[in-house]
């Protein structure tokens, strides 16, 4: 039996007095897509940032493909190559062209030649409809285009696991669709993804499983139909009710 | 830009006019004429008062002797070459050493504490010491040790002293720039697997340096003036040359000529710095407009220093 793509054990994280994550446990198989839902401030983003080791964790263990990445002496730079993350606010490098944004890490981290990195980047940009933007600087792109570039930038490292942190939350409504389509393509290609999102309809459509995070814990997790239609926890029901009232489901 | 105002079609309430346009409106027509007239009257009156003041003729004789001015000026400009060489060499060294200090102070992590400590102590020390003191200690004190292999050329020690002094200031400017780059940029770079230093080198520094060019130029204006301090350890440069002329003729006009030389160098640089700052402010204004939802293109304010590849 192969090791799970991702295994999180009893993860704790606090910022000062504030316990943001209070014993998160999560297991993901390869090719699985898990959507993390929950109110703002429930800890979704922090969970993703901890898995990428951007935030140091206080307690718990994280395994990627059976290897503990939270062990002492782990080379975090090596781990981060295998885990891609896309942020809510894109975080593209504003002083570089789209192409340089995408090729920077393959060239500097994976030591690819410029021509090899650019060839691969161009192919990826083409695949996601961004070929004509390769020499633009990010500020000249729409939010949707910027976010697609950010996804391509993460994909250029060939990650085993992709973390998407509310990637459509900073976008104008009419631009959300193009980014969701990219994620659908990735899902079809079998990418293992952990997605924090407020797009409930999308989560329901794409997720293998949905995890509801409340107050720093995963309150319940299961197939989307179960969670959205018949949640067992009253708090999940309340949360979904609020979403429905806001017209977002 | 601003939407139509109910009840007053086409009219734009003054509060909604962006500052640039409002300024143009203020300085148009009548007010421009008033400003011009007032300026002429004020400075004419000032000139009349000065010229008629008691002692003006002495001032004129001692500071504004045309003959001595013309006699001294070619020598002074010639000697100014020494100052120019001094600050050009020092500026290159300062840019490099200041950057090293700033990066040393910006590296996080407990292991690197001694590195940060070293850089911090250095910067504190050299910002606290009077420049002339350092120039004396290095330029007169060190050669007096007669250590083998240590140069005793005052020009050399002048460059060293100015570099040590100004690198402390410049490193603080760099550091402000580094800290102005949002941490999410470094996080994005690290999340792709770049090391601390790679993230600094390829993502943080290129953005930081662009932002601090105006304050760097400002420090260099200070440096260019401070090159005269090196005359105290025996470098014959423009200030010493003007002193020589002053002693020869018992007249202060050569100092005024020297002042003029510095003005001619420094004022254009100061204006250029101001222009850069204004341009950056415009750009920030434009990007905050964009951030609030306006996704308009902005070819006008495209980066002055090019779009910048990583190492092209």
In this prediction, residue B303 carries a pLDDT of 35
Q: Which helix (H) or strand (E) holds B114?
A: helix B113-128
DSSP state of A199: -
The answer to whether B87 and B220 are in contact (CB under 8 A) is: yes
Phi, psi for residue A155 in degrees, rounded to 5: -70, -30
> Which of B205, B207, B190, B185 minimizes the C-alpha distance to A109?
B190
Predicted local distance difference test score (pLDDT) of residue A220: 92
Per residue in B202-218, pLDDT tens? 999 999 998 998 899 98
Q: How far is A172 from chain B (nearest CA, A)?
A: 8
B310·A104 Cβ contact <8 A: yes
What is the arithmetic mean of pLDDT over B153-180? 95
The answer to whether position A1 is within a domain reads: no
Decide if A104 and B190 are in contact by the 8 Å CB cutoff. no
Give the lowest-confidence range in A137-146, B7-16, B78-87: B7-16
B15 pLDDT higher than 70 = no
Q: How far is CA A21 from CA A10, A217, A229, B180, B243, in A?
A: 9, 6, 26, 29, 73
Q: Which residues of B touch A89 (CB under 8 A)?
A: 184
Number of compact structural domains in chain A:
1
B183 is a domain residue: yes
Domain that holds residue B261: 62-287
Domain with A234, as residue range(s), is: 6-245
Q: Does B108 touch chain A (CB under 8 A)?
A: no
Domain membership of residue B7 (yes or no) is: no
Is residue B223 a part of any domain in this protein?
yes
Q: What angle do CA A78, B194, A83 make, to 5 degrees?
A: 50
CATH number at residue B102: 1.10.3720.10
Instruction: State the pairing for strand pair A83-86/A161-165.
Output: parallel
pLDDT digits (tens, 9 = 90+) for B96-115: 999 999 999 988 888 889 99
Between CA B73 and CA B61 the distance in angstroms is 17
Question: How many angstroms separate the CA atoms of A26 and A38, rounded?
Answer: 15
CB B227 within 8 A of CB B220: no
The percentage of chain B sitting over the pLDDT mark of 70, rounded to a whole number, equals 82
Q: B198 vs A108: CB contact, 8 Å cut-off?
A: yes
Q: Report chain A residues whose CB lies below 8 A from the CB of B294.
A: none
B13 inside domain: no
Give A11's Cβ-side CA count (13 Å radius).
Answer: 31
- Indicate if the pLDDT at residue B57 is higher than 90: no
CA–CA gap between residue A133 and residue A145 (Å, rounded): 9
Confidence of residue A89 (pLDDT cuts 50, 70, 90): very high
Task: State the sign of the Cα–Cα–Cα–Cα dihedral B192, B197, B200, B206.
Answer: negative
Q: Say if CB A180 and CB A5 are below 8 A apart.
A: no
The total number of structural domains in chain B stands at 1
Beta bridge partners, A11, equal A24
- Kindly indicate the confidence band of residue B161, based on its pLDDT and cuts at 50, 70 and 90: very high
Q: Which residues pair with B8 in a beta bridge?
A: B5
Q: How far apart are the first and last CA of chain A?
A: 38
Per-residue model confidence as pLDDT tens digits over A121-175:
999 999 999 999 999 999 999 999 999 999 999 999 999 999 999 999 889 888 9
> Are A157 and B198 in contact (CB < 8 Å)?
no
Q: Is B288 on the interface with A (CB under 8 A)?
A: no
Q: Are residues A209 and A224 in contact, defined by beta-carbon separation less than 8 angstroms?
A: yes
DSSP state of B8: B
Cβ of B191 within 8 Å of Cβ of A85? The answer is yes
> What is the C-alpha to C-alpha distance for residues B295 and B95, in angstroms, rounded to an integer?
37
pTM greater than the 0.90 cutoff: no
Distance from CA of B189 to the nearest CA of A (A): 8
Here the CATH number for the domain that contains residue A130 is 3.40.50.300
For residue B114, being part of any structural domain is answered with yes
HSE-up of residue B57 (Cα within 13 Å, Cβ side)? 1
B302 found inside a domain: no
A146 CA to chain B: closest CA distance, Å? 12
């Amino acid at each position: 039996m192969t090791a799970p793509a991702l295994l999180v054990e009893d993860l704790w994280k606090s910022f000062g007095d504030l316990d943001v994550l209070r014993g998160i446990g999560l297991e993901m198989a390869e090719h699985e897509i898990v959507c993390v839902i929950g109110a703002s401030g429930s800890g979704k983003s922090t969970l993703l940032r901890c898995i990428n080791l951007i935030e140091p964790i206080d307690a718990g263990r994280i395994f990627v493909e059976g290897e503990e990445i939270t062990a002492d002496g782990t080379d975090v730079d090596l781990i981060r190559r295998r885990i891609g993350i896309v942020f809510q606010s894109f975080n593209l490098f504003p002083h570089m062209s789209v192409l340089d944004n995408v090729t920077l890490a393959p060239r500097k981290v994976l030591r690819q030649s410029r021509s090899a990195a650019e060839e691969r980047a161009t192919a990826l940009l083409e695949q996601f409809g961004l070929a004509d933007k390769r020499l633009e600087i990010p500020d000249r792109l729409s939010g949707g285009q910027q976010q697609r570039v950010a996804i391509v930038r993460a994909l250029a490292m060939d990650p085993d696991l992709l973390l998407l942190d509310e990637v459509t939350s900073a976008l104008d409504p009419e631009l959300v669709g193009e980014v969701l389509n990219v994620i659908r393509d990735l899902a079809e290609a079998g990418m293992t993804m952990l997605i924090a999102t407020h797009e409930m309809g999308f989560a329901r459509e794409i997720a293998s499983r949905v995890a509801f995070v409340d107050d720093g814990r995963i309150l319940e997790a299961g197939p989307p139909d179960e969670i959205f239609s018949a949640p067992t926890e009253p708090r999940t029901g309340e949360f979904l009710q609020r979403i429905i009232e806001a017209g977002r489901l | 830009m601003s939407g139509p105002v109910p009840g007053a079609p086409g009219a734009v309430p003054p509060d909604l006019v962006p500052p640039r346009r409002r300024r143009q409106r203020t300085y148009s027509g009548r007010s421009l004429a008033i400003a011009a007239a007032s300026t002429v009257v004020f400075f004419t009156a000032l000139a009349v008062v000065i010229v008629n003041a008691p002692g003006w003729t002495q001032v004129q004789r001692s500071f504004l002797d045309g003959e001595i001015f013309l006699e001294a000026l070619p020598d002074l400009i010639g000697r100014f070459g020494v100052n120019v060489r001094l600050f050009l060499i020092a500026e290159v060294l300062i840019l490099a050493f200041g950057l090293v200090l700033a990066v040393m102070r910006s590296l996080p992590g407990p292991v690197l504490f001694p590195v940060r400590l070293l850089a911090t102590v250095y910067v504190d020390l050299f910002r606290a010491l009077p420049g002339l003191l350092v120039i004396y200690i290095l330029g007169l004190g060190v050669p007096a040790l007669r250590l083998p292999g240590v140069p005793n050329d005052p020009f050399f020690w002048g460059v060293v002293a100015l570099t040590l002094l100004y690198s402390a200031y410049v490193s603080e400017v760099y550091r402000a720039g580094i800290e102005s780059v949002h941490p999410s940029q470094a996080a994005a770079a690290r999340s792709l697997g770049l090391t601390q230093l790679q993230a600094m080198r390829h993502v943080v520094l290129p953005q930081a340096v662009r932002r601090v060019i105006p304050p760097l130029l400002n420090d260099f204006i200070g440096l260019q003036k401070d090159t005269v301090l090196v005359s105290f350890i025996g470098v014959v440069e423009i200030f010493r040359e003007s002193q020589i002329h002053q002693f020869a003729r018992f007249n202060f006009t050569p100092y005024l000529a020297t002042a003029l030389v510095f003005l001619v160098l420094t004022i254009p640089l100061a204006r250029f710095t101001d222009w850069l700052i204004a341009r950056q402010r415009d750009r920030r204004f434009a990007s905050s407009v964009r951030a609030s939802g306006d996704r308009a293109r902005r070819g006008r304010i495209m980066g002055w220093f090019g779009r910048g590849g990583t190492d092209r």
